[in-house]
Amino acid sequence: KKLFYLVFYCLLLLKKACYHYFLYVVVALMFAYMICLYMDAEGLQSATLQLQLTSECFRAQRNSCVHSARNQKLLRDLGFIDESFKLLRFLLHNLHLGIDAIFEPLRCGIQFLGNLGVGNPSCQDDIWKLSFPDVFLQLLSVADDKVVNYTSMVLHTCLDEAKVEDLSKPQNIALALKVMELCRTHPDVDWTVLIATQHFLKSAALVESMYSQMGHQERVTLLELLQAQLKEEEFEGCGIPPSVARFLAGSFQTGCGAVLSLATGSSSDNEEALTVISLLDVLCEMTSDHKQFMFLQDQPDLLVNTVVLLQQVHAIGKASKNIFSPAQNFSSFSGGSDSSPHSPVISFKAHLVRLIGNLCHCNTNNQNKVWIFRSVEVRN
């Protein structure tokens, strides 16, 4: 109880210069107290008051550095970042005990670090050094939506071009993959989407590294974010490097044949086929009035592979009744009883034609290639 009163006495000193020193002492003492006395389930079950005090300390720190560069500097200079991470690691280490009271100080501690880092590169660098990649990865894996949301906020705050490049290294790629997984499984968490669109998609090295290690569901999520970014940003403002477009075009050429497996009605290859469809959608968008990507018109064999795929899809659709036939029935693909009008393979042939048209736009050489193939005509 004495410790409890001490904390609230410190909170009353919020506007005084000595407040930060008192609070620092409280946090340091609490950390030592909890480490020494509460290392098992029984001890932590009786530590509810201490966990509440930890939350209050973090709340006071969090609030004190909002719109205050002076307080941010003071908190950093007094060693709050290091002490806070010691507490967070302690809490993370004991999450397996299943004590609900642990989550509140964990959330408040993450929020404090987020506010401490806003607009302060020095704090951002310190937070990054103490949390990257393992602590970030652990926090993003916690089964608590608020912890995941607040951690995503801190990660977004700390990221810059150099740190994004660090993420692309093999030993760190798991963190980037976790963010992309959360984009798919937690679409309501805006911070992960912002991390992907504002940082990840602007790094060719990271996109290629992630894509090569992703499952097909995560690849589709990545491609959907790419397409949304292309649609939202005008012309050269999307920030996606040309090398990303070149990589995706190569991936489409390598794997485009997977879409033909949909004609058999088998669901085993559906995910790979959906990836091909998403790649096609992105390439169509990239070659539609985005001047920085029009070099794809000269991508070796991209036009030829697209025309050949169109021929194959058309021939398979005519040979028997399947998903590519003019009288399309998507029920077997969707697993439902209706015709699945929202199936991603609807108008697939039209998208192939669109890409061919984009690749031929104002390009006489490609136009002549298509004329030689004499295969653009597709009958319904």
More confident residue, 8 or 49: 49
Residue 306 lies in a domain: yes
Q: Looking at 261-362, list the stretches that DSSP marks H as alpha helix, in order from N- to C-terminal side.
A: 270-286, 302-319, 331-334, 348-360
Report the pLDDT value the prediction gives residue 83, as an integer from 0 to 100. 86
Looking at the domain assignment, is residue 116 inside a domain? no
Q: What percent of the chain has pLDDT above 70?
A: 78
Other residues' Cβ atoms within 10 Å of the Cβ of residue 39:
13
Does the pLDDT of residue 16 top 80, yes or no? no
Least confident span in 176-185, 233-242, 271-280: 233-242
The predicted model gives 279-308 an average pLDDT of 94
In the predicted structure, residue 279 carries a pLDDT above the cut 90: yes
Nearest alpha-carbon partner for 199 in 159, 238, 166: 159
Does residue 34 have a pLDDT over 70? no
pTM of the predicted model as reported, rounded to 2 decimal places: 0.85
Q: How far apart are CA 245 and CA 355, in angstroms?
A: 14
Q: Is residue 343 part of a domain?
A: yes
Which of 34, 167, 43 is CA-nearest to residue 89?
34
What pLDDT digit, counting tens, does each position of 92-149 carry? 988 888 888 899 999 999 999 999 999 999 999 999 999 999 999 999 999 999 999 9
In the chain, the percentage of residues whose pLDDT exceeds 90 is 55
The mean pLDDT value of the chain amounts to 83
Task: Identify which of 63, 61, 59, 48 has the alpha carbon closest to the alpha carbon of residue 3.
Answer: 48
In this predicted structure, what is the pLDDT of residue 54?
Answer: 81
Query: Which residues form the domain of 338?
Result: 242-380
Residue 248 covered by a domain: yes
Contact between 210 and 223 under an 8 Å Cβ cutoff? The reply is no
pLDDT for res 198:
94
Average pLDDT estimate for 175-187: 96
Kindly state whether residue 374 falls inside one of the protein's structural domains.
yes
Read off the pLDDT band of 64 (50, 70, 90).
Answer: confident
Residue 302 lies inside a defined structural domain of this protein: yes
Q: How many domains does the chain have?
A: 1
* pLDDT tens column, 332-373: 444 443 335 455 566 888 999 999 999 999 999 999 988 887
Residue owning tokens 């021929």? 311
pLDDT value of residue 138? 98
Please give the pLDDT value at position 79. Answer: 87
* Whole-number pLDDT of residue 46: 64
Contact 199, 165 (CB under 8 A): no
Residue 42 has what pLDDT? 58
* Confidence class for position 27, pLDDT limits 50, 70, 90: low
pLDDT given for residue 366 in this prediction: 94
**Is omega for the bond preceding 133 within 30 degrees of 0, making it cis?**
yes
Q: Residue 18 corresponds to which tokens in the numbers above?
A: 């000595």
Structural domain includes residue 276: yes
User: Residue 41 pLDDT more than 60?
Assistant: no
- Residue 10, pLDDT > 70, answer no
Q: Does residue 12 surpass a pLDDT of 60?
A: no
Arithmetic mean of pLDDT, 187-215: 95
Q: What is the pLDDT of residue 32?
A: 47
Task: Let me know if residue 269 belongs to a domain.
Answer: yes
